[in-house]
Structure 1
Amino acid sequence: MVCRNNQFFCLSILVSVFCFAASSCNKNINSESNKAFVCFTNVSPDASPIRIVFDLTDTLTGSGAIPFGSTSGVAGNPYLTAVAGIHNLQVLGSGGQKYVDGNIALSVSHYYSFFAYDSVTSGGSLRTLILQDVLNPVADTSSSVRFLNFSSNAPFLYVQFTDARDTFYLGNRYFPFVGDRQTPSALSSNSIIKAGTYHVVGTMNSTSFYDFGSMTFTGSKIYTLYTKFPVDSTTTNSLGVIHHN
């Protein structure tokens, strides 16, 4: 779901929890039964490094702000732990700028990817995208790859993978700019490829090519690749990479 600032994010339907007297309605962050997991990525080239604040006080990125083209956590474990439920969420710049201020709904034991993207507008806000991550096991000879297009100057991209034996288009479809009101299901899907090293190129037509260089994908691993605004046909573009496991 693509949302504007100050809108209810509502990516997923919350799991209803019926609380009886003296039950666990007051669960806290130390409870193992009310956790949700979110990784945060900064895809805004002109925003300062971002901090994520829940309910005005809980700074999830307290160990450090997230600069452009980076994701929370570490490679293989990008997720931060939050309490499931509906929360106020703010994305703040290093100088206290409030880029996003709205609500987010998180379901118990679910995993999410949150992206703050686009250029900072005259009002100082960023656009956001929240996707539910399905981390199904992958065979040790394969990799799972999701591709997201955050480049408004490339309204759609076909993504070509080439190795020593084969050339194919990821997902056999094009990847639209995420800001064009795409549905979460269209953006959340992953493609299974053979593990290995590929040269990756984005194309819009027979004359528009964007070189993304050589990339290696390890067996049993799950990746999100994303473009960084804007892409340039005259040079090699560095894709952002999230290592989910």
Structure 2
Amino acid sequence: MFGRYMGSFHREYGDIMVEAERANGLLTYRRRCGEQTFERILVTKTGEMIINPVEPVNLPKEITNYLQVEFSPMVLEPGTTQTVYLKFPVEIGVFLESAKDIEVLDVFANGSQKYTLYGPQTNGVIARYHRSAVYSEIPSVECFCEGVMELSITNASREWVEVSQVVFDSTDMKIYYNDFVTTTATMNIISANLAETDFVDAPLRPGMVKSVELYAARKIPVINRGYLMEWGFT
């Protein structure tokens, strides 16, 4: 389903159907995902349609830029680094691209979305919430619903720390795909309650395709700054 399309096409996987049909001189885009449908008439002669995974913080509406993944507790020795694999939710974006511009046409996803508060009620942040097991190797995932995150955790503090969640600013997220969806991230623990998180702009495997980012398509300036977790990670 992911890829570039010109003119008419039809793709279907489980509860998801995406198509573009030309009839009576008009090109119509249609999408069905579960019980939700979306349709638009497209006026274009040279534009391409791009379908790829996007930052999973857009549904059911744009609430936050933050993504939180909770996982089984891990205890790290001072000065150690451990790479693990987590699962994260996938949303699918549809873009219209011409020689001069790119536009977001549609964003959809299977299932429901959960949100939570990271930090205190007075100045914490709302985050898209996802629960994952911890894997030592790349796990199998449900296609078009979840992706694989490679997370390198470094305990740069002088004490043992327990970690059971990680929070990111999704504006820094770099997503790649082929037969499954991936992202690569880091978590640098500074003290018992402080950690820096960021994404790495690199494919998990050679030959993967980089997704078009929603923030780039929407012309929103983004400075790669990562995120500082100030309220702990348990």
Same structural fold, with TM-score higher than 0.5 when normalized by the shorter chain = no
TM range (shorter): under 0.3
TM-score when scaled to structure 2?
A: 0.26
> What's the TM-score once normalised by structure 1's chain length?
0.25
